[in-house]
Structure 1
Amino acid sequence: MSLLEVKGLRRDFGALRAVDDVSFELEAGTILGFIGPNGAGKSTTMRILATLDTPTAGEVLLDGFSLVDAPDKARPLIGYMPDRYGTYDDVTVFEFLDFFARAYGLTGPARARRLESVMEFTGLGPLADKLTHALSKGMKQRVALGRTLLHDPKLLILDEPADGLDPRARIELRELLRALADQGKAVLISSHILTELAEICDTCAIIEQGRLLATGKVADVLAQAAGTAVVELMVRLFPGEEGEGAWTRAERLLWEQPHVKEVAREGQVLRVRLEQEGGAATWGDEAAARLLRVLVEAGVPVCAFGHRERNLEDAFMRVTRGRVA
């Protein structure tokens, strides 16, 4: 059974339906990327999952507890980090975390051990005596994440945690989230930075205008959206003395092959897209091997050949209103 089960979730604000019949599941040890344009219903859904809002209809079960009927039992299992958070100006990092540890009901040696553990995990130990208002954006994010982890929740709900972070801080946050998933926590994370999510998410859920358009692994979402198996290959040539003739010959050969839908030159690389309806799991590898054999046997000077992994950006663009091939 999944740790989190969302069933037919709906939220109305008067005549506006912000969330419309959303259903998905999330297993322990898994990171799910919650993706959608501004106003899609992401934050509203996440606030309901954090028990900060009540749905108009639908059900949410967390480890068997209903967030609608028994929110007090579910809340200890949830760690919520909103997209906008605040800190108290005149307290140190340790005082800030200690305050929330006490609010979570931690006492005595248990509180001291938990504070030490969280500060070590988030790398906040050296900053224990620094005032929170003097921290950088990345360090403030670590403090916010540390506060979210104090009561050792099973489910983490993180709304735009990488917003405004510099590249190093994003990488460090990504490593922390992967480590949390490896500890068995379920992580639901929203972000507009799809390349960041692509590197850490196991599954994705794409929402637009309040409705869930697709959910699952990125490859499954792409196949579901396209109704066909799609493979993209990258072919790099070393034309040598043949020059432009090598490119022309390679493009002609590729267009002659079955299932080839696009051949485009990008610098020193040919991008090739193949499609087949109802393609088996191994179809892409078989098609790639066939194309490589054709090129090599024809004497085309191939120096690199491989798959281009389709990513969250591909999935998002295909299933939302800005649909592209």
Structure 2
Amino acid sequence: MFGGQYQVQGTIFPNANCNPIMDAQMIGGALQGFGCDKDVLIDILTQRSSAQRIMIAEAYGSLYSRDLANDLRENLDGHFKEVIVGLVYSPPGYDAHELWHAMKGAGTDENCLIDILATRTTSDIFQLKEAYLMQYGCSLDQDLYSETSGHFRDCLINLAQAVREEGYTDPGLAAQDAMVLWEACQRRTGEHKNLMQMILCNKSYQQLWMVFQEFQNVSGQDIAATIEECYDGYFQQLLLAIVSCVRDKPSYFAYRLYSAIHDFGFHNKTVIRTLIARSEIDLMTIRQKYKERYGKSLYHDIKHYASGHYEKALLAICAGDIQDY
């Protein structure tokens, strides 16, 4: 059975009690005067779906003739600001925001580029590219070209073309593709890297699931272990991310969260981005995979490493209706 066919569940759902105008008024009140009532912001923005938050932002603009995201930026600070401002973007707008900031300024956050472009659907990528152009007035493809290099760049640009054949399968072609991948791992030339990239970036997850099984049959090796042995750097990491997502996307994000929390001294940007981006898709499933794989709950680890209203906001996004200590 294709590895992607499992029940997935988010933690944030549309709130039946949402009243955009009333919510906008409460947020406006929370931002008035000295300080800011952060609890009100958390209680509203983490308990509404993205579509509802967009309606709240529109109502806020109508009521106050100001932009909600800008007002939040002006009144908040630190990682708490990143969480709350992130919540008022549309999902494509938030992905575009993260990609832009990953490439602008000093250095490039390659892991952010991988986390987004290797995991989004064809439809997601079309939408985030439109949002990127609208928000920043430039092409995502052009920025990827100028800010990355080599086969890593080629692979990212291929993913950004959004040409993955979602749902399409050809069992007869799976063994042939597996042989191409095996030869690419053996020869490692530029041409063979391109062939590997084209298969991993363009074939559907269902097709790749079959290809990986055929790869095991023809080589006697696991595709992920072979990629790890044959390639290195961000090109290797990107290929491994695609393989991992084909097999079990929530487990990929569980791994990324665990690494961000434990391997990098709580890498806030990765934690924030993952929780917000997956909250309405599969965050509850990610939490389940996290606990199965690492023994402690994601909820426990956030409580251990974060604090204050930042911790409260992350936990509210993460919790859904289940607080798993």
After TM superposition, the score normalised by the length of structure 1 is 0.30
After TM superposition, the score normalised by the length of structure 2 is 0.30
Higher helix share: 2
Higher strand share: 1
